[in-house]
Amino acid sequence: MSKAARAAARGAKVGKKVEQNPHIKTRIGSGHAMPAPPLGPLLGQRGLNAANFCNDFNERTKEMKDGMPLPVRLLVNPDRSYKMTIYRPYTSYLLRAAAGIKKGSSRPGHDAMGMISLKHVYEIAKVKWEDDTLKEDVDLQEMCMLVIGQAKSIGIKVVPRLSVEQLNEFLLERDERIELARLAEEEALK
- Measuring CA to CA, which residue among 147, 149, 167, 155 is closest to residue 110? 155
pLDDT in the model for residue 8: 63
Is the model's pLDDT at 184 over the cut of 70? yes
Instruction: Show the 3-state SS of 114-146.
Output: EEEEHHHHHHHHHHHHCCHHHHCCCCHHHHHHH
The string of DSSP codes covering 9-59 is: HHTPPSSPPPPPPSEEEEEEETT---SSTTHHHHHHTTT--HHHHHHHHHH
Q: Give the model's pLDDT for residue 80.
A: 87
The whole-chain average pLDDT of the chain stands at 87
**What is the rounded CA–CA span in Å between residue 167 and residue 174?**
10
pLDDT value for 4: 63
Tens digit of each residue's pLDDT (9 = 90 or more) over 54-66: 999 999 999 999 9
pLDDT given at position 28: 94
Average pLDDT over residues 103-117: 87
